Amino acid sequence: MKIVPLKYDFCIKEIMENEIVRTHFISDVLDIPIEDIKTVRMMNTFLWRRFRRQKQGILDIQLELNDSTKINIEMQMEQKAHWKMRTVFYLAKMFTADLRRGEAYKKAKKCIAITILDFDLDKRAQYHNVYTLRDKLGNIYTDILELHTIELKKQPNQAQPSPLDEWHRLFNAKTQEDLDMIKSKTGNIGIMEAIKELKEISVTDRIRLEYEYRLKAKRDREAEDEFVFEEGKAQGLEQGIEKGIKSLIHSMRAIDAADEQVIAALMTEYHLSREEAQGKIQSF
């Protein structure tokens, strides 16, 4: 049986409603002992803005740990222009959202962005990378801003297994058989809960319809892009032919060639009929 892949943002939101799932996921991504996480509460995903014309930040999932650390989880299926700038923008918005004018900087909370990507961000082999503010020698300046990238197209390192590997496989699962295989090997309670939730929502009409709609929209967009490309290619070819015909006519007129000579050249070079060749001479 096919399932709704966890890599779709609306599916992740449903799964993360389960506190066990989100607690274990955060524990495995951030390498925090599960016993050190008391609460991981869901927050408003619309980021505050001071002025009406400021760009509004909308996150997929925003969580808060018991030590007030804020976490944003975002899923991206396709690479967009200026993707890295976009992630930094949202991380910065999340960092400044709670500070009002005149408040002390010490009230700023640590912010962590977790971006799950269904494309390769760079050529490095590891699928999980962590970024913080550091100097050129690698010495950390502050850990108050932290960015994690999880690239689903890359494979886990078999020589250095990580608890996050099971989540990586879960995000890439396409069928119930894939889920059963993960379930048979894992002892992770969060993974087990996520598999249960994923199986349940895969047969939910609302989720299934959303999934089918997303697939249709993707196919329609690809078909439209292909049409535009082919039209552009055809127009470019036609423009190139017209430019060549014009150049040939001008070159032959420069040496005082008769119209019949020009017509014969056009019929030979561009496979035009006599009427078409005569029309081109009149046009140019």
- Which pLDDT band, with edges at 50, 70 and 90, does 114 fall under? very high
Residue 75 to residue 10: CA distance in whole angstroms: 9
Residue 76 to residue 7: CA distance in whole angstroms: 8
Residue 14 pLDDT greater than 90, yes or no: no
- Residue in 151, 161, 157 with CA at minimum distance from that of residue 114: 151
Query: Which pLDDT value is given to residue 211?
Result: 54
- Which pLDDT band, with edges at 50, 70 and 90, does 24 fall under? very high
**Higher local confidence (pLDDT), 208 or 47:** 208
- 37-41, 178-182, 262-266, 277-281: range with highest mean pLDDT: 178-182
Tens digits of per-residue pLDDT, 243-278? 878 887 887 777 777 788 788 878 777 777 888 888
> pTM for the complete prediction?
0.68
Tens digits of per-residue pLDDT, 50-106? 444 444 444 578 888 877 889 999 888 888 778 889 899 889 888 888 777 667 788
- 133-147, 180-194, 229-243: range with highest mean pLDDT: 133-147
Query: Which pLDDT value is given to residue 78?
Result: 81
